Structure 1
């Protein structure tokens, strides 16, 4: 699968391997969560959800730990470490349990996004298409979390990784891109969203990603044209997934 212009502009020549690393990390996290569920021998999916909640961040950190420009930060008050790679903060979240929900109608967080998540969008998300909301418009309680992120450069960009999964089927699909947070319910407006090819069943693993390899080989031809500003509101051209009218749906409490 060709790499889009957005991915190349975001991650440079490393985009194909970074995309592969994200897919592998998600697959490993899901495998670990399913193993925990099986070991618990219970019909309740709490073991799956709690394991996935931590492992999705840890697996990303493990996958990219040997890269020279990776940074792992743990904001005050957060139980998770966040990966910043090449100035892009990778944030994975589950948007659905099955394929009945379109990623275009994805919501982030359970009910209301956490103060940390709102602060991430406020500081590092893309410029909103509509009126720029202030921190207190969307995140009235996020000021301490925003201060905790002050160590990161202001030009850091937020890259969302949205995936659908469940304890029985495992990882169903995954997407990455940029979006703005629309409201306190966690609704998103995608500025760019594209599918991440997933490894074949049973083939997932933490693929070593030596930094030297990223400077070798030809740059893949972009699959999509860049769409910025008002152009993002134009209907997609052939080959891009058609937008779906957002239908809000809260993520399950487990595995957010």
Structure 2
């Protein structure tokens, strides 16, 4: 399988390139299976559950698949809830580019967030074509200084994009490659985006709850009935003689003492 990856992949991932290629496809298959299972369990009329689960799984399942590769390191970007995987010199960023089959060469990054700007500091410089209306003013693109775990990755790290297309019904396709971030969030591919193999089977890396665990025996627990509970303590007080003479009805509870303090007292 080593001959199935391009030279750029070998240059970035080293001898792990074929394994990364295969495991990324497996991770996306697991992502889709988990997201569909969550949607089915939610029994919802919308696909919100699928979308939220898919977003989480696209990062966590990649980490599951790649974590045992020699030299694989999780990287935690600042303020991001998930970790990205660094294998060799390749920092892997999976993202949804379409909910239908579409030409990945026209793909756009969904959101140009601070994280995206930090990630693309590890990507090639975008091409800029000067036109008749460009009077030498500085471009509007702002490069963000990497923070958190991204500030610790070695020099020479390359951002490897993994765009995939899927919806609540099926996983359609996935690719990988290296690209610059151009205007309007369009990707300028430095390498031809190559398809990933998407297996039909699903793998699991940890046990999942399939039944309710056996509860402890009833003999080991003592359920106290109401009659067996401790008696409440009662405060008894005799009625004043004047109350009895004036036929004042007895009180079962003491009156709440009126709070005579005010906020103004703190200033005096």
Distance 2:62 2:36 in 1: 18
The residue that corresponds to 2:247 in the other structure is none
Task: Give yes or no for contact 1:160–1:177 (8 Å, CA) kept in 2.
Answer: yes
Gaps of 5+ in 1: 208-256
1:106 shift after superposition:
0.5
Shift of 1:163: 0.4
2:159 maps to 1:161: no
Secondary structure of residue in 1 paired with 2:161: strand
| SS of the residue 1:205 aligns to | coil
- Give TM-score, length-normalised by structure 1: 0.70
Tell me which residue corresponds to 2:122: 124
1:197 positional shift: 1.6
In structure 1, the residue matched to 2:234 is none
Larger radius of gyration: 2
Listed as ranges, the matches of 1:151-230 within 5 Å are 151-169=152-170, 171-183=171-183, 185-192=184-191, 193-199=193-199, 201=200, 203-205=201-203
Deviations 1:181-226 (A, max 9, x none): 012x311111111111211x3x13269xxxxxxxxxxxxxxxxxxx
CA distance in 2, matches of 1:73, 1:12: 19
Q: Distance in 2 between matches of 1:50 and 1:34?
A: 11
Alpha-carbon RMSD across the aligned residues, in angstroms, is: 2.1
TM-score (norm 2): 0.67
Q: Per-residue CA shift, 1:156-176, capped at 9, x if unaligned?
A: 11000010000012x111000
Q: Which of 66, 72, 75 is the aligned partner of 1:73?
A: 75
Cα separation, partners in 2 of 1:70 and 1:174, compared to 1, 3 Å: same
Aligned to 1:138: 141
Matched residue count: 193
Structure 2 CA distance for aligned equivalents of residues 38 and 136 of structure 1: 47
Q: Aligned partners of 1:12 and 1:154: how far apart in 2? A: 16
Match of 1:22 among 17, 24, 44: 24
| Equivalent-residue separation in structure 1 for 2:202 and 2:22 (angstroms) | 10
Structure 2 Cα separation of the partners of residues 206 and 35 of structure 1: 13
The superposition leaves residues 230-249 of structure 1 with CA deviations (integer Å, 9 ceiling, x where unpaired) of xxxxxxxxxxxxxxxxxxxx
Q: Is the 8 A contact 1:29 1:52 kept in 2?
A: yes
Match of 1:45 among 30, 47, 57: 47
SS at match of 1:138: coil
What residue number does 1:59 align with? 61
Within a 5 Å distance, the mapping from 1:109-120 to structure 2 comes to: 109=110, 112-120=111-119
Structure 2 unaligned blocks of 5 or more: 130-137, 206-268
The Cα shift of 1:84 comes to: 0.7
- Do 2:94 and 2:162's aligned partners in 1 also have CA atoms closer than 8 Å? yes
How far apart are residue 137 of structure 1 and its match? Answer: 3.6
Equivalent residues of 1:63, 1:206 under 8 A apart = no
Bigger RCO (CA 8 Å, 6+ sep): 1
